[in-house]
């Protein structure tokens, strides 16, 4: 690989790293070409990206992006493929979990890096169980809406009580006459 090709590869990786909110570092050693192609296709169909590269180039791209940490540096050994998540940082974890279960524990997840937090590969099932961003946002909106709905209910009850009170007073006056 020429110097220009390496620089181009690092720039391409850096661009993907900059856009990503979740990165999943896998060791795909022992996988067949067919398995690797199926994994790429599953990730691509979900709007995700899977890149394979030399560890030194991945390390350089991570460093250039300001995301290289000691755990990531330690994970960059043997054959490395990286699945990238963008809008939903946990989406690759779900796809990888299902794919690994169907393919005799391949690829092996080395490490997950989600929005600045590092998770060891053995925690894949825990990470895959994280709620999606949409679920979290819906929960927050629901939590914000609940007190407002309570206030609306109380105000509605007050209006209703005032109407009943006025009606009762009117009936009493009508009976008194």
| Band of residue 160 on the pLDDT scale cut at 50, 70, 90 | confident
For all residues of the chain together, what is the average pLDDT?
Answer: 85
CB-based burial of residue 122 (10 Å sphere; 0-12 exposed, 13-18 middle, 19+ buried)? exposed
Residue range 114-124, pLDDT digits in tens:
888 888 888 88
149-173: average pLDDT? 75
Phi, psi of 171 (to 5 degrees): -65, -40
Higher pLDDT, 82 or 137: 82
d(CA 151, CA 147): 6
Q: Is the pLDDT of residue 98 over 70?
A: yes
144-167: average pLDDT? 72
Q: Is the pLDDT of residue 85 over 80?
A: yes
The residues with which 118 forms a beta bridge, in sequence order, are 113
| Band of residue 82 on the pLDDT scale cut at 50, 70, 90 | very high
pLDDT for res 139:
67
pLDDT for res 137:
67
Q: Is the pLDDT of residue 146 over 70?
A: no
CB-based burial of residue 173 (10 Å sphere; 0-12 exposed, 13-18 middle, 19+ buried)? exposed
Question: pTM for this one?
Answer: 0.73
37-54: average pLDDT? 90
pLDDT for res 71:
92
């Amino acid at each position: 690989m020429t110097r220009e090709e390496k620089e181009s590869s690092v720039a391409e990786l850096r661009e993907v790293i900059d856009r990503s909110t979740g990165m999943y570092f896998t060791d795909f050693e022992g996988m067949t070409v067919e398995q690797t192609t199926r994994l790429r296709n599953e990730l691509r169909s979900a709007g995700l990206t899977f890149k394979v590269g030399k560890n030194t180039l991945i390390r350089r791209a991570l460093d250039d992006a300001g995301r290289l940490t000691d755990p990531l540096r330690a994970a960059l050994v043997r054959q490395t493929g990286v699945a990238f998540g963008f809008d939903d940082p946990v989406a690759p974890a779900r796809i990888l979990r299902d794919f690994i279960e169907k393919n005799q524990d391949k690829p092996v997840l080395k490490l997950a890096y989600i929005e600045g937090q590092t998770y060891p590969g053995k925690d894949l099932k825990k990470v895959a169980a994280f709620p999606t961003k949409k679920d979290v946002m819906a929960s927050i909106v629901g939590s914000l809406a609940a007190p407002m709905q309570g206030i609306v209910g109380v105000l509605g009850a007050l209006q209703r009580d005032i109407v009943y009170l006025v009606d009762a007073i009117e009936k009493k006056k009508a009976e008194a006459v």
